[in-house]
A = this chain, B = another copy of it.
Amino acid sequence: MLAQEMIDAMSKRGLRVTDQRRTLARLFAEAPGYLSAKDVYDEMGKTYGGLSFDTVYRNLRVLQEMDVLEQFVFEDGVKFKAHCREHGHHHHAICLHCEKTYAVPFCPLDIQVELPQGFSVVKHKFELFGYCEACGPQAEAGGAGR
């Protein structure tokens, strides 16, 4: 998602386009992978001296509620990335090194999965973790495993 698209989305929904939000949009548009609230705070802090944590949280939340950002609960905390442009239902392969995500069009539920007796599925998760072509398995040593 381009920074401009995110900004337009905010504007269209009646949110005010501030300097900070422009920078936030650019940050996520350019980020290769996921960013935690702290990542965002640190990165934005370089530009904005008196930046405060609550503003970062507020903006992350607003943007997530607008579907501009996607939230993902990692074992070491919540992180965000720009909403992916992939159309239709799909899943993700996430690189443990660069945390970039790749679309996986296949969905396990499209085939006949044997469910527990009488279980009705509401939601499902299917995620692959590993190393992408660019990072390669050699990245494993210093990887972001866990």
Chain A contact residues, CB within 8 Å of chain B: 73-75, 93, 95-96, 102-106, 108, 111, 113-133, 136-137, 140, 145
Select one of B102, B104, B124, B132 contacting A129, CB under 8 A. Answer: B124
Beyond A96-B122, A123-B130, A125-B125, 4 additional pairs, beta carbon < 8 A = A93-B119, A93-B121, A117-B133, A120-B130
Could you list 21 examples of A-B contacts with CB < 8 Å?
Answer: A73-B75, A93-B115, A96-B123, A102-B119, A104-B114, A104-B115, A106-B108, A108-B108, A115-B128, A116-B133, A117-B133, A118-B132, A118-B136, A120-B136, A122-B130, A122-B145, A124-B129, A125-B125, A125-B126, A125-B127, A126-B126
A-B pairs with lowest CB-CB distance, top 8: A118-B133, A102-B116, A108-B108, A121-B130, A122-B130, A123-B129, A125-B127, A120-B130
Neighbouring B residues of A132 by C-beta, 8 Å: 116, 118-119
Asked whether B133 lies within 8 Å of A128 as measured between CB atoms, the reply is: no
Closest to A95 in B: B119
Neighbouring B residues of A124 by C-beta, 8 Å: 126-129
Asked whether A116 lies within 8 Å of B96 as measured between CB atoms, the reply is: no
With A106-B108, A108-B108 already in contact, the answer to whether A121 and B113 are too (CB < 8 A) is: no
